[in-house]
Structure 1
Amino acid sequence: MIVDIDDADHVARYCSPRKIKEDGTPAPGAFRLRDCDNCCLSVNWLECFRGQSIVDNILHVRSELCQHRELRKNGRLAVLNVGKIKRAIKITNKLDINVKRNPRNNHRSHACIGGYPTNNNEVAMTLSEMVGVDDMYNTTL
């Protein structure tokens, strides 16, 4: 069932090593929509797992992602707050984006950030600038 995710909740985006800057934060390319993305950026909803902390939920996300893709040891998971995403994009890009739960087979935390076009580099830049080094988590246990 596709439903909006609460503004208080968090999502994580896998960033491959080549999409991480030298300072440890994600490059805008980590958040850029591709034509094959169906106008939605794939992320994982952390609170889906109801852990005691973000770190607990990250462990579950890692486990789930490993079933669907190769997580490089130098890759990272960038964590963002849903409400902050919406507010920042509204202020800087004048867009009303949405963050929705969109579970798939064996991928119950899958979610999407949508409502912006594939050619919108400004949104990717805004999202990347929201993530600090402390918001980046290892992909290996």
Structure 2
Amino acid sequence: MSEDVEDGSVHEHRKPRVGTVSGLALMTGATAMAAVGGGHHSVFATILLALLALGMAHAFTVEIQRQAHRRTGRWGRHDVVNTVLLAGWALGALTVAVLPYPPAPLRVLGLLLSLSYTAACAYFVAERRRAVAAQADSPEPSLSESFRL
């Protein structure tokens, strides 16, 4: 799926996707919400859910990197949709944090998720802009360079 070029960077040959970034963001947040506010869990279940949320957060970060470093030379519609969805999840999590109805642990987690989604959105935009700028500056590798051993 990826290819090394002369400068050692890796470029993804994936097609642009929207559902993977957004889906991982929601699954990470929902698992964290279940760990914090899921009711009468045992300590083991809470720790297991928290570890699962951390693992999904890692997968979420890796998917953001993959989508940001795709080999398209411009900012596309999928990039705008990913950015808007991440910003929307940040706003939704902030809404949970400011509402007076959820218990305090869920409100704190909502604030943390809001900050995390905002950071993920900014990270995606920065990485995507960096990747587009790097592709504009560097010429395409020739076919013989693509298949070197």
TM norm structure 2: 0.22
- Decide which structure has greater helix share: 2
Higher relative contact order (CA 8 A, sep 6+): 1
Which protein has the bigger strand share?
1
Larger Rg: 2
Q: Calculate the TM-score normalised by the size of structure 1.
A: 0.23
